[in-house]
Amino acid sequence: MATQTLRERLSGGAPLVAVSFGDEDPAGDAARARDLGVDLAELRIDWNRSAEPADVLAAVEPFRAAGLRVLATIRSRAEGGRWAHDEDARLRLFESILPAVDAVDVELSASGILPRVIAAARAADRPVVVSYHDFDKTPGEEVLAGTVEAAKAAGADVVKISTMAHGPEDLRRLAGLLVRYDSLIVIGMGTEGSATRVLFPVLGSRVTYSADGDRPSAPGQLPFEETVRLLETFSPAYAAARGAGA
């Protein structure tokens, strides 16, 4: 069971390794995540078979009962998700689940609901990850910096930038964000970006996302066990946190 809250871990110190889950087998997934020592369970509610709040809350409960930190994501289709309903329904679902999870992730591009999701998170005392995804490319430095600034201005506790990496220049551009800003999650997707899933947490990226076995939820993800092994090798802070059960 985690000894530090998600807010505490997001604010500094050792990074977290996340694994994403749907609602196919919440009890089994929660038990496996607990046994593996998953740092953060990202519940991809946009993958769920039902978008009814009661059904979603029932799928969240086993993860809470297992003592896992829970990040709830309802990803839009525009940014790689499967949410098939309108924005009013997505807002209502965010508002319903916020008291039952540790944090939520909402896209910067979700301008119609973003202010109200952040307000609901503030009322529930939950941190908000404001995210940006580009599955085709890594934009230029000015675009990336502007995106971070806009997300922070909107009220993000943590800003997530995830872009497709096509070579060393993209990796340098993404690494530059970690030097320039605090409270970021930065990921280079794809084969060229796989190294960022281990090296960027060492540089300060707050969360890295890993695969549940051989089922990656985004291009370039490494299996959870491999990600943990590599981070324990290269990050003394992460190895210490794992050893302490933090």
* pLDDT digits 0-9 by tens, 118-135: 999 999 999 999 999 999
How many residues make up the chain in this entry?
Answer: 246
- Reported as a single tens digit per residue, the pLDDT across 40-72 is 999 999 999 999 999 999 999 999 999 999 999
Residues with a catalytic annotation lie at: 133, 160
Q: Return d(Cα 223, Cα 202) in angstroms, integer.
A: 18
- Report, as an integer, the average pLDDT of 30-37: 96
| Tens digits of residue pLDDT in 205-237 | 999 999 987 777 778 899 999 999 999 999 999
The domain ranges of the chain are 6-238
Q: What is the rounded CA–CA span in Å between residue 170 and residue 129?
A: 23
Return the structure tokens found at 156.
């993000």
Using CA atoms, how far apart are residues 193 and 172, in angstroms rounded to an integer? 11
Pair of tokens at residue 38: 């998953």
CA distances from 236 to 129, 175, 179, 194, 229 (A): 25, 20, 20, 21, 12
Nearest CA to 205 among 56, 15, 78, 60? 15
Of 156, 75, 78, 74, nearest in space to 118 by CA:
156
Q: What was the pLDDT predicted at 214?
A: 72
Q: Is the pLDDT of residue 168 over 80?
A: yes
Give the pLDDT band (50/70/90) at residue 245: confident
Residue 85, φ and ψ in degrees, nearest 5: -115, 180
Instruction: Find the distance separating the first CA and the last CA of the chain, reported in whole Å.
Output: 8
The per-residue pLDDT for 181 is 96
How far is Cα 38 from Cα 100, in angstroms, rounded to an integer?
A: 18
Residue in 197, 198, 212 with CA at minimum distance from that of residue 19: 212
Q: Could you tell me the pLDDT band of residue 188, with boundaries at 50, 70 and 90?
A: very high
Q: What pLDDT is recorded for position 131? A: 98
Residue 2 pLDDT more than 90? no
Structural contact between residues 128 and 157, judged by C-beta atoms closer than 8 angstroms: yes
**What angle (nearest 5°) sits at the alpha carbon of residue 9, between those of residues 80 and 229?**
75
pLDDT at 12: 86
**How far is the C-alpha of 231 from the C-alpha of 237, rounded, in Å?**
9
Contact 55, 48 (CB under 8 A): yes
- Rounded to an integer, the average pLDDT of 156-160 is 98
Domain 6-238 classification at class level: alpha beta
pLDDT at residue 83, as a whole number: 97
How confident is the prediction for the chain on average, in pLDDT? Answer: 95
Q: What confidence score (pLDDT) does residue 1 get?
A: 63
